[in-house]
Amino acid sequence: MTFDALLVLDMLLATLMLMLAIAALHCESLRQGIFLYIVFGLVTALAWARLKAPDVALAEAAIGSGVAGALLLAGLRDRKPRKQKSLLRRPAWQVLTVTYLVIGLALTASWAFLDAQANDVGPRLGAMVQAELANSGVSNPVTAVLLNFRAYDTLLELAVLLAALLGVLALGPERAAPRAAGPVVHHLVAWLTPLLIVTAGYLLWVGAHAPGGAFQAGALLAAAGIVVRLSGNPHNGLPSGIWVRMLAVAGCGVFMFVGLASMGGGANLLQYPANWAGTLILLIEVFATLAITTSLVLVYLGGQPDSWSSGRRKARA
Amino acid sequence: MTELLLIASAALGLNLALSLLAMLRQPSAGDRMLSAQLLGTNGVGVMLLLSLAQDQAALLDVALVLALLAAVVVIAFTRRPQEASHD
Amino acid sequence: MIDLLSGVLIIGGLFFYVAGTIGLLRLPDTLCRLHAVTKADNLGLGLLAFGLLLQLTDPLSMLKVLLIWILVLAASAAGGQLIARHVQREQEDSS
């Protein structure tokens, strides 16, 4: 009985994901496509939960579904409305190319998976991580991999985020804010924002020993900023002038500083001293969270906010 | 107990799929938004059941984040189209 | 005994979830469908949450489940109102 119910749920989730993806490409209006994309994110989060990957499920729910959905909706407003060409009405060669590519990708992935199962491919990643976990300073293996064993990758991710932020800031002034909202939105936002902030702090703290971490916390904080913005508040929760710049750069900056400082004792880049590892990871995560929040909120704003420079600029209409 | 939880999560998953299909039949904006609402509650329900069925307390955190983001998405949807809003 | 009570509550919750979906399928108007979704689903979630609460032993987890339930209730109440007003405005615009 157990096996049947699990299989039903898994098949359901897999089918739903495929159908939602096709429907999101096939819809007539971009608003419907965005909505289907958000739903796709939710179903993917459920799939991650079924795959026993709570960290990824958290990130998918927070960033992939929530913040990305809000970002897409905000971006939609800037486009001139025009009819969306549905996937099936595109020229045949385009449809065929994409179909063959997807089939090829699926076949390659299946072959790689089955081959790895059949042959002995050496020590598995999970076992290797577990063996070194005690030396990493945290007890959550995902955080250990992200911020210790593969810290360089995470540093580069933060750098990529910063580069994207610079691109958005180069667009000029921010979009115009929505007008002030009525009592319902106001009171909803009034208790939703503190709850988002507290949950973000909780996820950041708990990331050391349970699923959580900087990216999820940063996304939740950014959602708080987005929600404050949507309620028509002229402030968006970010500081002004030099501080917002420092916050945006702090993630990469503190990470690199810690990495370079670790070299002082003759070690390699980002090789934390063993008994300081936990503290350093927490330090990096705090600033990474702040940087991710600042970047996501600024990207949502679509440009430089009023508080960015000393001279006041008119918001883009 | 675990079997009941798994059957319940499969049933809720089916419910989710059916409500999605129902929503796709009438693609007006209001129906989309109320589907966002519905998927929020359904998704949170499935996540709660899975958290107990698979004995992973972390999935409770995921359910919390899902509920929060569902609220954010509903605000984003309903505030979006008109800037001349007086709600 | 606790398992039995839990099971009854969970099945009751499922019943209300399904009732909400049936309402979504059968009711004629968007605003009526909003009723079905907001009320029935939340009641289903509440019963589900209480059924699960009986199964938990860790106080932090129980607190989280309660928090999730109250959060979804409050957010649905406000969200339902926002959606209803949006639908009404659209109907006024198109008529």
pLDDT value of position A81: 63
pLDDT value of position A86: 61
**Measured CA distances, A170 to A29, A231, A242, A298 (Å):** 29, 26, 17, 11
Highest mean predicted confidence (pLDDT) among A63-67, A277-281, B15-19, B65-69? B65-69
pLDDT value of position A94: 84
**Measured CA distances, B38 to A13, A267, C65 (Å):** 17, 53, 18
Q: Do C21 and B15 touch (CB under 8 A)?
A: yes
**What domain count does chain B have?**
1
Q: Is C18 on the interface with B (CB under 8 A)?
A: yes
* B65 pLDDT higher than 90: yes
Chains touching C by CB (3 or more pairs below 8 Å): A, B
Contacts of residue A228 in chain B, CB cutoff 8 Å?
Answer: none
pLDDT value of position B20: 85
B16 burial type by CB count under 10 A (0-12 exposed, 13-18 middle, 19+ buried): buried
pLDDT value of position B80: 59
The amino acid at A102: V
Tens-digit pLDDT string for chain A (317 aa): 556 778 888 999 999 998 888 888 877 778 888 889 999 999 999 999 999 999 999 999 999 888 999 999 888 877 666 666 665 567 878 878 988 999 999 999 999 888 888 887 777 788 888 888 888 888 888 998 888 888 899 999 999 999 999 999 998 888 877 777 788 888 999 999 999 999 999 999 998 888 988 999 999 999 999 999 888 877 777 877 788 888 899 989 999 998 888 887 777 888 888 788 888 899 999 999 999 999 999 999 888 887 776 544 445 54
The answer to whether the CB of A290 falls within 8 A of the CB of A219 is no
Closest to B87 in 3D by CA, of B38, B45, B74: B74
Tens-digit pLDDT profile for residues C6-20: 999 999 999 999 998
- DSSP conformation class of B80: S
- The Cβ of residue C27 has, within 10 Å, a number of other Cβ atoms equal to 15
The amino acid at A208: A
Sign of the torsion angle spanned by Cα atoms A120, A122, A127, A129? negative
The answer to whether the CB of C48 falls within 8 A of the CB of C7 is no
CA distance C13 to A34: 30
Nearest-5° Cα angle at B27, B25 to B32:
110
Tens-digit pLDDT profile for residues A66-111: 899 999 988 887 766 666 666 556 787 887 898 899 999 999 999 9
User: Closest Cα of chain B to A26: distance in Å?
Assistant: 12
* B86 pLDDT higher than 50: no
A181 burial type by CB count under 10 A (0-12 exposed, 13-18 middle, 19+ buried): buried
**Residue range(s) defining the domain that contains residue B57:** 2-79
Q: Which of B7, B21, B23, B38 to mutate to test the interface with C (most CBs of C within 10 A)?
A: B38
* B85 pLDDT higher than 60: no
B6 occurs within a structural domain: yes
- DSSP conformation class of B87: -
Buried/exposed A20-36: b ≥16 CB within 10 Å, e otherwise? beebbbebeebbbbbbb
Q: Which of B16, B20, B25, B34 to mutate to test the interface with C (most CBs of C within 10 A)?
A: B34
The answer to whether the CB of A61 falls within 8 A of the CB of A43 is no
Higher model confidence: residue C62 or residue A92? C62
Q: Is B8 on the interface with C (CB under 8 A)?
A: yes
Q: What is the length of chain B?
A: 87
Backbone angles phi, psi at A316, to 5 degrees: -65, 135
* C44 pLDDT higher than 90: yes
B86 occurs within a structural domain: no
Instruction: Return the SS3 of B84.
Output: coil
pLDDT value of position A203: 94
Contacts of residue A187 in chain C, CB cutoff 8 Å?
Answer: 78
B17 occurs within a structural domain: yes
User: Closest Cα of chain A to C26: distance in Å?
Assistant: 22
B24-36: average pLDDT: 79
Q: Is C64 on the interface with B (CB under 8 A)?
A: yes
* Bridge partner list, A316: A175
pLDDT value of position A87: 56
Q: Is B68 on the interface with A (CB under 8 A)?
A: yes
B84 occurs within a structural domain: no
Contacts of residue A73 in chain C, CB cutoff 8 Å?
Answer: none
CA distance C61 to C53: 8
Joined tokens for residue C76: 């649905």
pLDDT value of position A80: 65
**What domain count does chain C have?**
1
pLDDT value of position C49: 94
User: Closest Cα of chain B to A317: distance in Å?
Assistant: 11
3-class DSSP string for chain A: CHHHHHHHHHHHHHHHHHHHHHHHHHCCCHHHHHHHHHHHHHHHHHHHHHCCCHHHHHHHHHHHHHHHHHHHHHHHCCCCCCCCCCHHHCCHHHHHHHHHHHHHHHHHHHHHHHHHHHCCCCCCHHHHHHHHHHHCCCCCHHHHHHHHHCHHHHHHHHHHHHHHHHHHHCCCECECCCCCCCHHHHHHHHHHHHHHHHHHHHHHHHCCCCCCCHHHHHHHHHHHHHHHHHCCCCCCCCCCCHHHHHHHHHHHHHHHHHHHHHHHHCCCCCCCCHHHHHHHHHHHHHHHHHHHHHHHHHHHHCCECHHHCCCCCCCEC
Q: Which of A9, A58, A73, A188 to mutate to test the interface with C (most CBs of C within 10 A)?
A: A188
Q: What is the mean pLDDT of chain C?
A: 90
B45-70: average pLDDT: 92
**Residue range(s) defining the domain that contains residue C24:** 2-94
Q: Record the pTM.
A: 0.90
Closest to C5 in 3D by CA, of C48, C65, C43, C54: C54
Quickly state the pLDDT bin for C53 (edges 50, 70, 90).
very high
Instruction: Return the SS3 of B42.
Output: helix
Contacts of residue B46 in chain A, CB cutoff 8 Å?
Answer: 46
pLDDT value of position A84: 60
Closest to A16 in 3D by CA, of B47, B70, B17, C18: B17
CA distance C20 to B45: 14
The amino acid at A137: G
The answer to whether the CB of A172 falls within 8 A of the CB of C55 is no
